[in-house]
Amino acid sequence: MSKPKNPFACFHSSPEVIRMVVMLYVRFPLSLRNVEDLLFECGIHHCQETVRLWWNRFGPMFAADIWGHPLPTGDRLASD
């Protein structure tokens, strides 16, 4: 039986840092540059393109973890 592939394997940052960056960008009305500045103040040096890459790659995965089911692709989400 093979182990599931780690989605963070090819990145040099820890999964905790990646999750924090994506959640900062999603949760608060911050631009990519603002997230980059906040990271710099915390001693973490990543450019805004890295933040954008992480958001594109891990955002849907984190959202599926939060909501408990995979997001449908190409569909609109219904709101209450």
- Nearest C-alpha neighbor of 55 from the set 80, 28, 19: 19
* pLDDT of res. 74: 60
pTM for the model stands at: 0.68
How is the chain split into domains, by residue range? Answer: 15-67
- Report how far apart, in Å, the C-alpha atoms of 73 and of each of 8, 41, 52, 54 are: 22, 36, 19, 18
| pLDDT for position 33 | 92
pLDDT in tens, 16-75: 888 888 888 888 888 999 999 999 998 988 888 988 998 898 888 887 777 666 556 665
Nearest partner of 8 among 66, 61, 69, 77, judged by Cα: 61
State the DSSP string of 9-58: TT-SS-HHHHHHHHHHHHHS---HHHHHHHHHHTT----HHHHHHHHHHH
